[in-house]
Structure formats: structure tokens, C-alpha cells
Structure 1
Amino acid sequence: MLSHGLSLVDHGGQGSPLILLHGFLGSGDDWLSVLPELKNKYHCYTIDLPGHGSSGGFSDEISAEADAFAGISDRVHRLLSEEGLLPATVMGYSLGGRIALGFASHYPDDVELLILEGANPGLKTERERQERIDSDSRWSQRFRAEPLKDVLKDWYRQPVFSSLTEEQRNKLVKQRSIDNDGSLLADAMDLLSLGRQSDWWHVSSQLTCNVVYIVGERDNKFLAIAEALKKEAFKKNGKVCKAVVADAGHNAHRDNPKDFLVSLFSAECLKG
């Protein structure tokens, strides 16, 4: 179903709604490896974010907004509300995790559980934000001007993807080159740059629901973020726990689906 410029797919299952948000370059299909087990506990839905999958490009309305994250959160909320899917558990990977965090910031009463996989809560200084905007702008220019396959070869050489084997890297480049449009990715890069995202470090500690931050054991940058979020929440009595996935890098649910599910369902703040 396509509504509010977003593609929502009902995968079925048992229990309360679970909304799954993919990362940059991905689509709802990226969750297929973990959906069978998730459906034993939740009624699962995937959403393709703007510029990805079946959702097409960004609307002129979102493109013109000062805060694209707020615009997407609003559209996701309207879509889920119209379908009677709120409140829900919301899980997002990387870019999807950042969208999930923004959604929880704007609509905290509609989130029963927030699950973040390798998601950055935001940059804390103006200098960091501007440097990230400049870096993302260089990438977006390449996405618009160069063959997608060539850009992706360099994209997957970034430090955050250092845990990938050469075989895994080549497979991703091939798959993502087929599944994506360079100009739409460039729009996503420009509008959803981490440098344009609000500082959401405080959000997880202010929510009344539990927050699970799940991360691959080889994803050192985001392991540190997970620990920092726990400490921030502890100071403010928030309910944040870290779940570490063995033998996995940044995209833990792709690298090790089995242990991803084990780590998620055994997360400390979900016990009892």
C-alpha cells in the first residue's frame, strides 16, 4: 500500500504491531531474514522510506521543509494512525533508526518499545554538523553524477563497513546498484544528512517505554554510542539496555540474523 508517499507492507504475524524501518540504500525487504521469527511475537509491517524501495522520491512538500525528519515522522504517524497501528513497537536500522528516534521524539505516547540498531542520536556541535553536511554533499554529488556501481564501491570502503568481507562487499554493491536510483539517493543524502538531524541524545532517557539499542560486536563506533546512551539514560532514570550481536558488524540483522534475534529477545530491559 502506498499512502502519504510511503509504501507500507503487511507481513502478518501475531501480537501487537511492529514497524520496521530500513537503512540508507535499503528497503523493507532487508528485514526478510528476521521476519519469520519476529512474526511469532509481533504483527510485522515494513515501510520503505522516501527515495528507497517502492516509496519513490521525496515529495515537494518534504523537500521544501526546514526539517525533513519532522516531515517524514508526521507522514509515518498519519499513515500508521489511519491504519489503526498505534501504539506500536518501532525498530529501525541506521538511517531507519534515526527516523525511529525522531518519530519517538515527536510522538512518544505512540511508541510501546523503541529498538535502535546502529543508529546515531545526533552530532553535538555545530562544527561536527557542518562537517557532516559537507561530507554528505560530496557523496550526493557523486550519486547524481557517477555510475551508481562506482560510487557504491567507495561507499562500502568507509570505516563503518570495515567488518565486511570482500565477498560481502561485492554482493552489496551488485544488489544495491540494481535496487536503487542515484538521483533519489542523492536527495536522501542531502535532506537526511546526520548534520541536519536534531540532537536526540536526550530522547531515549525521556521516554516512558523501554529502549533497546542493538549493535554488532565488531561495530566499535556504535558500541560506544550504545554505552553512552545507557549512561545518559541512567542519569535520568531512563530504561535503555544494550544488546550485542556476536560475529556482526554495522548491519547486525543481515550479518547474523540468528544471534540478532537471540540478543534482541534476551535484552535485559525486556526481562520480567
Structure 2
Amino acid sequence: MKLRKELMQLNEEIIPINGIDYYVRRSNDFTLPVIVFLHGFTGSAGTWSEITGLLKEKFHTIAIDLIGHGKTTAPRDPGRYSMEKQIADLETLFNELNIEKFILLGYSMGGRIALSYTIMYPKRVESLILESSTPGLKTNNERMERMSNDKLLAQRINSEGIRSFVEFWESIPLFYSQKKLSAEHQQRIRDERLSQNEVGLSNSLLGIGTGSQPSNWHRLKEINVPVLLITGEFDRKFIKIAQEMKKALHYSKHCSVKDAGHAIHVEKPTLFATMIEEHIQKIKMEEEKL
């Protein structure tokens, strides 16, 4: 009770949803247009602190610790992490927060969740912003191979511990460009990763990994809201995915950010915040013309 009271004073709250305690961080004036932020694997609501600060006085921002991450519960059953259950949790959470429509932004794993949520609840989302994300894998063989790799990675987390895993995770090519960040900034990212729960990370790989989730490639045509796809110029794999997604979506724009890798919001926060603001302003202008 004391923890809940302290969090409320900080515009933070623990909200019980379907047996899971979800941590939610709300920033800026509650009467402003709403943007919901979903972090990536090994991230948390804190991932977005700099971005929400840059959007102050323009948007009310809501950042959520997804299941198994940050301060949100990390259940021991990998099945509880499935895409279907995560989406159902978010829908209940949005009802609890009393928000009807919002801009939904997701990074990497959070982008996969945001895309899946938009397909399931299209009337909720005014616009979708996907940073370095994917609709999933197209073939059963690709999914089976990815699930096998994720299972090995989950076993590594459980057997070697979080510190060993973080050292490995920081060394993969996907995050090479982050080595250009200041030592202080790199340490903040490392601290966030090290703060994670081993059970939460391993079960996230098993339950809601790219191989575990259903493919949404064939459902992109169902999305009828404006979509902004953001990738970094060094992230060739996700540039290719975004280009292919753009062809399948009705209303979309793809922006590739120079001198950035997978996590543009980390490497180029000011530019990232500006892109969000300009995208939403353009939508509002087009709506006013109708």
C-alpha cells in the first residue's frame, strides 16, 4: 500500500491485470493527446524517459513495463507470455486507464506487440509508430528455427545468469552502433538490462519471441490508420523489412535515420522525438482538411 501511494505521487502506478501486476508510468498533462510507448526486449518504461521529456507540454505519454520486464510481474509459465495474452492484458489495462484512443508506438519486441494489438483492436489506435520492428516470420520453417534459437538463448539466461547474458547481448552486431554513445549513456542502458528478471527474460523469449508469435504479414492490409516506420541506416535487416511492410500497408511512411542502428530513440533521441511530433502534426492537418 505504501509503495502504491509513493508511485501515485510520481504519476506511476502498479495496476493488477489478469493476475499480473503491471507497472505504468504516465508523464505530462493528462488532458493532452495520448501516446502509449511499448519497449523492446530487456527494456522497460524507463527506456522512454528522454523521449517523454522531449515531448513535454505536447503529449500525455504512457509507458508500460511489458510482462516479465521492469517492475511488472514475471510469471514462471512461458505460456502466460503469449502474444494473445499480452494483447488481452493491454486492452484491459487501457480500459483501467480510461483511455479510448491513442497513438501507439512500439520498439522492436514492443513494435511486434503494438502491431498485433492494432490488428486486434483497430478502433483504439489513431496512428501506429513502429521502430525497428517486424510483423513476424513468414514461414513455418523460419519460425521453428527461430524458436529453437530462442530456446537456447533462454537456457543460457537460466544457466549463466543475467550478467553473463547482458555481456553477450551487448556484443551482438544489432547494437554495435551504441558503442558510439558516451560511457555514461552506455552504462544507463547496461543498468536497465542488468535490472531485469532472469525468469522474465527467458520466458519472454519462449512465449512472445518472433518465432512464437503468429505471422502478421498477411494481415497488414487490415490496418487502416497512418503508420510510421522508423529504422536506422546501419540496421539493414530491418530497413528491408520496413520497405516490404510499406508496400503492404495502406497509409504508411518509412524513414531511415542516418548514423543510427537498431535503437534510434536511444542513439538519436531529439530527432526521434521530432519525427513523432511531425508525424502526428501531419495527421492532424490532414484530418482538418476532411
Tell me the SS of whatever aligns to 1:81.
helix
Q: Structure 1: how far apart are the matches of 2:190 and 2:121?
A: 37
- Asked whether 1:258 is paired with 2:270, we answer yes
- C-alpha deviations, 1:16-64, integer Å up to 9, x for none? 221111111010000011112323332111110011111021375xx44
State the secondary structure of the residue aligned to 1:3.
Answer: strand
**How is 1:40-51 mapped onto 2 (pairs within 5 angstroms)?**
40-51=57-68
Counterpart among 193, 215, 225 of residue 209 in structure 2: 193
Q: State the percentage of identical aligned residues.
A: 29
The superposition leaves residues 86-108 of structure 1 with CA deviations (integer Å, 9 ceiling, x where unpaired) of 21111011111111111111111
User: Is the contact made by 2:75 and 2:199 (CA closer than 8 Å) also made in structure 1?
Assistant: no
1:96 aligns with 2:110: yes
* 2:49 paired with 1:32: yes
Q: Does the C-alpha gap of structure 1 residues 193 and 73 become closer, same or farther in structure 2, counting only changes over 3 Å?
A: same
TM-score by length of 1: 0.89
Structure 1 residues 167 and 264: alpha-carbon distance in aligned structure 2, compared to 1, 3 A threshold: closer
The answer (yes or no) to whether the contact 2:76–2:199 under 8 Å persists in 1 is no
2:241 pairs with 218, 225, 240, which one?
A: 225
Structure 2: runs of 5+ lacking an equivalent: 1-12
Of residues 256, 275, 279 in structure 2, which corresponds to 1:244?
A: 256
Q: Once superposed, which parts of structure 1, at least 4 consecutive aligned residues long, lie more than 4 Å away?
A: 166-170
Matched, 1:162 2:171: no
Aligned residues: 265
C-alpha distance in 2 between matches for 1:172 and 1:128: 34
TM-score, structure 2 as length reference: 0.84
Return 5+ residue gaps in structure 1 as ranges: none
Aligned equivalents of 1:264, 1:9: Cα separation in 2 = 19
Cα gap change, 1:203/1:265 in structure 2, threshold over 3 Å: closer, same or farther?
Answer: farther
The code of the aligned residue for 2:232 comes to G
Q: In structure 2, the residue corresponding to 1:34 is in which secondary structure? A: helix
Match for 1:230: what amino acid?
Answer: K
CA separation in 2, counterparts of 1:78 and 1:171?
Answer: 35
Mapped to 2, the partners of 1:217 and 1:203 lie a distance apart of 27
